[in-house]
Structure 1
Amino acid sequence: MKSLRITNTITAIIFLLIIFSIFSYIMYNNQKQMLSADIDTFLYATSLSVADSINILLEENKIDVSEFNQRINQYFQRIIKSWISINGIEDPKLLNMLVQIYDRKGIIIATSRQGPKMIMKISPEEFKILASGTNYTGTFDIDTSNKKTLSLRYISIPVMNQNKKIVYIIRVALSLRTMTFSMYNLKIVLFILIPFTIILSGILGFFLTGFTLSPVNKIIVSINEITAINLKKRLNVSEYNDELKILASTFNDMIERLDNSFQSQKHLIENLYHELKTPLSIIRGEIEITLNKKRDADTYKNVLLSNIEEIDRITRILENLLLISRFESKLEVTDFGKVDIIKIVSEIAERFKIVCDPRSIILTMNSCPKAIIKGDEKQIKSMIVNLIDNAVKYNIDRGSINIFISSENGKITITIKNTGIGIPEETIDYIFDRYYRAIKSSGTKGAGLGLNIVKTVVDIHKGNITVRSVVNNWTEFEVVLPEA
């Protein structure tokens, strides 16, 4: 149990770490791209705004382009202050911004603040791109005095005349410190805090699972105390008020069924011992008596006939057990076909007349002209044999057995009514249970298997069976099956 908890916890943690790592990686890069795009957009808009301010200044003061280089410094700081005032001084981006003006040769002529030499000049490669009328965007990595790196994002745009020649160049740069700090914090959250939270949650989940499963461990201990010789022990359902109560109740029901099954097997063995012991003892005794001295032919014949009867009885018991076993293991293959009920019942009734004659039991049969069902002939024969055998077994000497077969409304009804000891009303609901015998008198032979087989066959053929009885008078079994 513990190893399973550990395995499941580790698996869940690893799975979540992988999922969230992928999610964090995608989110981090997406956020970085969005912030970079936002800065580039801001720089581009700022550079255009500065260019517009310079152009307005040139027009208002009627400054010729040829005088631009000499007079731009005179007005540049005023332009920057005016532009910041218009756009809002509260924006921290504007305060961390660097604005530079270059002449048509790429030489710096004005700057909003001094900076490292590397950002004060335009490289030949950058100037070549700008001369073609294309904006240039780049990043400077500057080493500061405290041995840290400061990154600046910048954009350079050329201001062209009508002849597509550069008049001047505007470069606007912005520190990426805020963005770097934000991305660093995001990285801490995504790649440290979230994994730590997942691992901590997994550990807490491990202990919480152990706490939750403690009642299950208690159930396991109780289950281990239940053995084949201690099937009467049950789990205490009252200790639980949730799904475990359902589990405990289900387990108790299962143990109840197992106990019943063990008891049934025990009864079966006991019944088989008595049922097989009697006919075998009879056979052995008759043979021993016959062998004690020489007998006439009729005596030998009677002994052999008696032995055959006892052997038939043993055979029926074993056949019933085999059939029940095949039903339970689902090895019994049902071969459905057209079955002539009248023919089958007539043949079986004729065989049973031999058994009825010594006890002066009158067996009669009345039927409709035709009764055909769709079923398994072997199983139907077993059903009829057990019903008639039951009628003979629990009959009285000089009693009667009446068999009726009728067909009505697409149903075939087989009714077997016999005189005899009858079945107590309180036991009728149990007579189809395996190994159950309503009448447990010493003079009545049986293992309690026949009626269980009858009920199973009826159910397989989608029929129904009813029982009516009057104690010490008569019993009637009525089987209704669908007509073919």
Structure 2
Amino acid sequence: MTKIFSLTNRLVIWFSLAFAVSSTVLFGTFYYLTVQTLLDQTDREILDHARALAYSENTLRASFESIPGMIIAITDASGQIRVSSSLSSEDLNTLSDVVKTQKSIKDPFFSSKQLSNSNFRLGVIPLTGENTQSLIIVGHPTDVIDHAMSRLLATLFVVTGLVWIPAAAGGWIAAKSALKPVKSLSEKMKKIDSGNLKDRLEIKETGDEIEELSHSFNYLLSRLEESFDRERQFIADIAHELKTPLTIIRSSMEVVLGKNRSNNDYRKTMEETVKVVDRLSGVVNDVLELARSKTEQDSNLFKTADLTSVVRDISELTEKLAVSKRISVSQKITSGVTIPGERQKLFRALFNLADNAVKYTPASGKIGIRLEKEKDHALFEISNTGKGIQPAELPNIFNRFYQGTGDRDTQGSGLGLAICKSIIEAHKGKISVFSQPGKTTVFKIHLPLTKHS
């Protein structure tokens, strides 16, 4: 089935159909014009003949027997035959009907009829001279024309068939030749897998669709390579993050099992182990949250989330967290801001930024929280004073497990901002950061509003 409906065969079929239709239209038009030309020529001959005979009715009567092969008849305006060539009553009725079908005959007209088992071209011309109420009917046999047209039609069918065969073969050859680069491209694509994503297709500067396809595929390979590299790095980072706490747990257990110890020593070791396990659980939970935010991007976007309520809750929590460091928190929150999304995930993303602001703001510093509408988007902005983020670190802060030089003493998995970015993008939003080292850091989030927000 695949071979039968391959692209090559489909192109050949379409080419053959297009050729057949165009040939039919072309030859049909030629056939029609030829028939019309021959009939027009016959009509002119009939008209000339009729005019030569129609000087007077008496002269015409004497000419009936001297014109073999033709039909001549004279009728009145009502179609009543006055005089005619030797014709059967059925043929005379046919001639009479030709006249009767016309309401008024002022100019010559022509018609094709069958008389005496032969085809005739009939011309009906008003007589001039003695009796203008009479009509002359002159008929020329068209058997020769009919035979010639039948042969022409048969010839056209034969020619079409003979031309169609090499045309179809030529179409097949042209299709194979045109698709040869595609087949070559396909073979090269099959050889590329996850183990050799650095390979690229060789691109020939042909300026056609094949070159464009090759560029697109190479671009796809680049994105896949980047994605695979990120996943490999992600796995390596997870392994590194898990290895350290697992090593600590193992070392603690080995120390405990090495010799008998007091209950206080056992308790102290267990408490340290619980802390390490908590950290380990935090890393695992963050990884799961990041995975969910990647795979459930559209599952909750049809709900409406009250972003104003979310930001107010975050602002209250931020004020409580900031008390111990005497940090002042200012806020400017617009009412009635709603967006499509899930409240819990939005809270997780925005609170992560607020929590970071408290962590990295020095004592007696300042934090600003702002929510407002901008055309069809909501703008959430959180700023804090402090040492800020170095310019070299800004491009990396949303990477998974990335921790800047100022984060070494801060507990965390390095996944917070990555999760935040993933959640925001799942809600069709954008997140950006601006920082002046030693002064301030500002995170901005744009999210699409609901239609009636």
TM-score normalized with structure 2 length = 0.68
Is 1:125 aligned to 2:90, yes or no?
yes
Given the superposition, is the C-alpha separation of residues 441 and 211 from structure 1 closer, same or farther in structure 2, using an over 3 Å criterion? Answer: farther
**Does the CA-based 8 Å contact 1:391-1:418 persist in structure 2?**
no
- State the secondary structure of the residue aligned to 1:368: strand
Matches within 5 A, 1:58-457: 72=62, 98-99=69-70, 121-127=86-92, 137-139=113-115, 153=120, 172-189=139-156, 191-287=157-253, 289=255, 293=260, 295-296=262-263, 300=267, 303=269, 305-329=271-295, 330-331=297-298, 333-334=300-301, 335=303, 336-337=305-306, 338-347=308-317, 363-368=325-330, 371=333, 374=338, 376-384=342-350, 386-387=352-353, 402=365, 404-407=367-370, 412-418=380-386, 423-434=389-400, 436-439=402-405, 448-457=414-423
How many Å separate the matches in 2 of 1:455 and 1:434?
Answer: 10
Given the superposition, is the C-alpha separation of residues 480 and 365 from structure 1 closer, same or farther in structure 2, using an over 3 Å criterion? Answer: farther
Given the superposition, is the C-alpha separation of residues 418 and 277 from structure 1 closer, same or farther in structure 2, using an over 3 Å criterion? Answer: farther
Amino acid at match of 1:267: Q
- State the secondary structure of the residue aligned to 2:193: coil
Report what 2:443 is aligned to.
Answer: 478
Using the TM superposition, give the Cα deviation of residue 352 of structure 1 relative to its aligned residue in structure 2, in angstroms. Answer: 10
Report what 2:109 is aligned to.
Answer: none
Given the superposition, is the C-alpha separation of residues 313 and 400 from structure 1 closer, same or farther in structure 2, using an over 3 Å criterion? Answer: farther
| Percent identical | 19
Amino acid at match of 1:414: I
**Does the CA-based 8 Å contact 1:365-1:402 persist in structure 2?**
yes
Aligned residues: CA RMSD: 5.0
Unaligned runs of 5+ in 2: 75-80, 101-111, 128-133, 374-378
Using the TM superposition, give the Cα deviation of residue 204 of structure 1 relative to its aligned residue in structure 2, in angstroms. Answer: 1.6
How many Å separate the matches in 1 of 2:353 and 2:19?
Answer: 70
**Does the CA-based 8 Å contact 1:458-1:464 persist in structure 2?**
yes
Amino acid at match of 2:330: C
Deviation digits for residues 330-377 of structure 1, max 9, x if unmatched? Answer: 255245124343533554786799xxxxxxxx7444223664664644
Amino acid at match of 2:309: V
**Does the CA-based 8 Å contact 1:46-1:172 persist in structure 2?**
no
Amino acid at match of 1:415: S
Given the superposition, is the C-alpha separation of residues 180 and 430 from structure 1 closer, same or farther in structure 2, using an over 3 Å criterion? Answer: farther
**Does the CA-based 8 Å contact 2:8-2:176 persist in structure 1?**
no
- Point out the structure with max Rg over C-alpha: 1
Deviation digits for residues 146-198 of structure 1, max 9, x if unmatched? Answer: xxxxx6626599999xxxxxx99976433532453245325423x23344444
How many Å separate the matches in 2 of 1:158 and 1:428?
Answer: 99
Given the superposition, is the C-alpha separation of residues 26 and 323 from structure 1 closer, same or farther in structure 2, using an over 3 Å criterion? Answer: farther
Using the TM superposition, give the Cα deviation of residue 389 of structure 1 relative to its aligned residue in structure 2, in angstroms. Answer: 6.5
**Does the CA-based 8 Å contact 2:54-2:136 persist in structure 1?**
no
**Does the CA-based 8 Å contact 1:101-1:171 persist in structure 2?**
yes
**Does the CA-based 8 Å contact 1:9-1:203 persist in structure 2?**
no
Amino acid at match of 2:368: I
Matches within 5 A, 1:14-29: 15-16=17-18, 19=21, 23=25
Given the superposition, is the C-alpha separation of residues 235 and 352 from structure 1 closer, same or farther in structure 2, using an over 3 Å criterion? Answer: farther
- State the secondary structure of the residue aligned to 2:54: helix
TM-score normalized with structure 1 length = 0.65
Using the TM superposition, give the Cα deviation of residue 326 of structure 1 relative to its aligned residue in structure 2, in angstroms. Answer: 2.9
Is 1:467 aligned to 2:399, yes or no?
no
How many Å separate the matches in 2 of 1:14 and 1:442?
Answer: 72
Report what 2:77 is aligned to.
Answer: none
Q: How many residues align?
A: 410
- State the secondary structure of the residue aligned to 2:328: strand
**Does the CA-based 8 Å contact 1:156-1:171 persist in structure 2?**
yes
Counterpart among 57, 60, 81 of residue 59 in structure 2:
57
Given the superposition, is the C-alpha separation of residues 311 and 50 from structure 1 closer, same or farther in structure 2, using an over 3 Å criterion? Answer: same
Deviation digits for residues 438-467 of structure 1, max 9, x if unmatched? Answer: 559998876653222223445537464323
Given the superposition, is the C-alpha separation of residues 351 and 123 from structure 1 closer, same or farther in structure 2, using an over 3 Å criterion? Answer: same
**Does the CA-based 8 Å contact 2:321-2:358 persist in structure 1?**
no
**Does the CA-based 8 Å contact 2:125-2:136 persist in structure 1?**
yes
Amino acid at match of 1:426: A
